[in-house]
Structure 1
Amino acid sequence: MFASSPFRRIIPAVLAAVLLLPALAFAHPHAFVAADVTFVFDEEGLAGIHQRWDMDEMLTASILDLIQKYDGGPLTPAEAKAVESESFKLIKEYDYFTHIRIDGKPFRAQWATDFRVELNDRKMVWHFTIPCHVKAADRNREIVVGVFDESFYTFVTYASENGPTIDPTADPLYLNADAPASPDDFQRFSSHVKLGSFSGKIRTDGPTDLFELNTDVRTMPSMAYYYEQIVPEALIVNFRRP
């Protein structure tokens, strides 16, 4: 099905998107993810960071080609396991594109749990949780989370309550795997897709009533990437014992 499509030419893009191959020379970005982030609490404090990644059709088709699924049906348990082993587990080396700071200090996302994958309207959706235990105290604890691919091969945007906030197909180079990389890739992309600030609600789950809790969204110059052209927004949670 995909053998003669433009997706077939970018099958290495699946690995590129998750392995961040530096030799790639086509215009960025070529893969798109809308991340819905939830800070999960237990009785002790923060327990983990749950994410739902909604992928665009191009990345979805590439991953399906990687596991040689062409029937158009839902994923079987064996196919879901193949997605986990052939693509999801590969991004562990890159901290699952999740950049975390706890009270100002970096925290590496070294593993993820509860992986689940589904197909929704021809688009792949990943669910997973990054354990991150931060015990509440009488003083304020601050958790900063930015989700982004430093290579800018994959562009990650935060999903709102209504789903993805941008349409990557508005970028004229969306399907052009032959377009060369350019220093103004981000300016071109952000202009065409009308990239704006995240205005959704930061999600929390669990017994949050046990804590004094505040959330915020902030641009983080100290997390700037892709030649420091892109200054990401970070999702921030502050909490303490009452």
Structure 2
Amino acid sequence: MKKSTYLMAALILLAPAAAMAHPHIFVEARLEVVAAPDGSVQELRNVWRFDEVFSSSVVMDFDKNTDLKLEPNELAEVGKTVRESLSDYDYYMNLTIDGKNVTVQKPDIIHVDYKEGQLLMFFAVKPSEKMPLKGKLTFGVYDPTLYTSIDFPTDKELGTVGDGFKNCKNDVLRPDADQVISQNKQSLTDAFFNDPTGTDMSKLFATRLEVSC
């Protein structure tokens, strides 16, 4: 069995319907939305810190020399694997401008580190189309299957960078799960039975940054 089996299985999200019940991987995240000089979104900078259980599993799969740590070349292999496996899921990015969904480009590289028993990933993605800083824009990070729980511990972990945002208002939205379920009970039920491996309905539960310019 190849060393990347566990990581690929988890991050490619080839999970059964039961994944909708509760997450199996836990991530503490940070997201910075960077403005370009021309008054559009330049890139989104991500920092992900994985839980210790998942992190230890990655060490077991990628530790070629069995020294219970990840060398630079092994960390690079983890980043390469994740860069390929999450491309079909837009790297969990959820971007909209005036309600229109915007996908992202593949990151040039995903940097990986391993500190104090936890795996960390650092990477930046760019919108696949121009996103002018006008109207209402939203930025979030979520797993459509709910297999991975991505949490922003405080509102400070969601922010903007650059003068292009100086005339914009930022709000961090943390939906109440019970309220979301109550308001969308029928559509959530239909979505699950039509596609139990994941739907866009899960973004209703995701923490996101809303920017009004």
TM-score of Structure 1 vs Structure 2, range by shorter chain = 0.7 to 0.9
**In structure 2, C-alpha distance between the alignment counterparts of 1:108 and 1:31, rounded to whole Å:** 23
Three-state SS of the structure 1 residue aligned to 2:104 is coil
Three-state SS of the structure 2 residue aligned to 1:128 is strand
Deviation at 1:39, TM superposition (A): 0.7
2:198 maps to: none
After TM superposition, the structure 1 = structure 2 runs for residues 71-220 of structure 1, keeping only pairs within 5 Å, are 71-73=67-69, 75-76=71-72, 78-132=73-127, 133-136=130-133, 140-160=134-154, 199-200=155-156, 202-208=158-164, 211-219=166-174
**In structure 2, C-alpha distance between the alignment counterparts of 1:238 and 1:18, rounded to whole Å:** 32
Three-state SS of the structure 1 residue aligned to 2:86 is helix
For the pair 1:54 / 2:9, whether they are aligned, the reply is no
1:21 maps to: 14
Q: Deviations over 1:14-68 (max 9, x none)?
A: 3332111143657631111111000111211220111100111112122222223
- On the 8 A contact 2:106/2:125 being kept in 1, the answer is yes
Of 193, 206, 209, which residue of structure 2 is paired with 1:232? 206
Question: Structure 2 vs 1, CA of residues 128 and 201 (structure 1 numbering), >3 Å: closer, same or farther?
Answer: closer
- On the 8 A contact 1:67/1:83 being kept in 2, the answer is yes
- On the 8 A contact 2:107/2:123 being kept in 1, the answer is yes
Three-state SS of the structure 2 residue aligned to 1:152 is coil
Q: Deviations over 1:140-186 (max 9, x none)?
A: 332212211111111111143xxxxxxxxxxxxxxxxxxxxxxxxxx
| TM-score normalised according to structure 2 size | 0.74
Three-state SS of the structure 2 residue aligned to 1:99 is strand
Q: Deviations over 1:129-148 (max 9, x none)?
A: 11024234xxx332212211
Deviation at 1:214, TM superposition (A): 1.2
Q: Deviations over 1:70-106 (max 9, x none)?
A: 4244531x21221122233211111111111122101
Question: Structure 2 vs 1, CA of residues 63 and 43 (structure 1 numbering), >3 Å: closer, same or farther?
Answer: same
Three-state SS of the structure 2 residue aligned to 1:212 is coil
| TM-score normalised according to structure 1 size | 0.66
Q: Which has the higher helix share?
A: 2
For structure 1, the 5+ residue unaligned runs are: 1-10, 161-198
- Equivalenced residues, count: 185
For structure 2, the 5+ residue unaligned runs are: 193-200
Deviation at 1:127, TM superposition (A): 0.6
Three-state SS of the structure 1 residue aligned to 2:126 is strand
- On the 8 A contact 2:30/2:157 being kept in 1, the answer is no
Residue type at the aligned position of 1:102: I
Three-state SS of the structure 2 residue aligned to 1:66 is helix
